[in-house]
Amino acid sequence: MPNYIRAHVGKTYFFTVVTLNRQKILCLDPCREMLREAIKKTQILYPFSIDAIVLLPEHLHCIWTLPENDLNYSRRWAFIKKEFTKMAQPIIGQTVSATRSTVSKEKHREGTVWQRRFWEHMIRNEKDYSNHIDYIHYNPVKHGLTASPVDWEFSSFHRFVQEGLRSSDWGANEDIALDDSVGRE
- For residue 69, the model assigns a pLDDT of 86
- For residue 92, the model assigns a pLDDT of 72
Instruction: Please enumerate in sequence order all residues whose Cβ is within 8 A of that of 1, keeping only pairs 6 or more positions apart, or say none.
Output: 130
Helix, strand, coil distribution of the chain in percent, nearest 5: 40, 15, 45
- For residue 10, the model assigns a pLDDT of 62
pLDDT in tens, 4-33: 555 555 699 999 999 999 999 999 999 999
For 35-44, 94-103, 105-114, 140-149, which range has the lowest pLDDT when averaged over its residues? 94-103
As a three-state string, the secondary structure of 45-100 is HCCCEEEEEEECCCEEEEEEECCCCCCCHHHHHHHHHHHHHHHHHHHHHHHCCCCC
- For residue 172, the model assigns a pLDDT of 86
- For residue 112, the model assigns a pLDDT of 72
CA dihedral 71, 81, 145, 21 (to 10 degrees): 120
- Using CA atoms, how far apart are residues 124 and 72, in angstroms rounded to an integer? 18
- For residue 13, the model assigns a pLDDT of 96
Q: pLDDT: is 37 or 173 the higher one?
A: 37
pTM: 0.83
Give all domains of the chain, ordered by start, each with its CATH number.
12-124 (3.30.70.1290)
Under 8 Å between Cβ of 161 and 150 = yes
- Helix 73-95 to helix 29-45 angle, to the nearest 10 degrees? 160
- For residue 97, the model assigns a pLDDT of 44
- Using CA atoms, how far apart are residues 3 and 22, in angstroms rounded to an integer? 35
Under 8 Å between Cβ of 118 and 13 = no
Under 8 Å between Cβ of 46 and 75 = yes
Under 8 Å between Cβ of 54 and 140 = yes
pLDDT in tens, 67-83: 988 989 999 999 999 99
Closest CA to 97 of 85, 113, 109, 108: 113
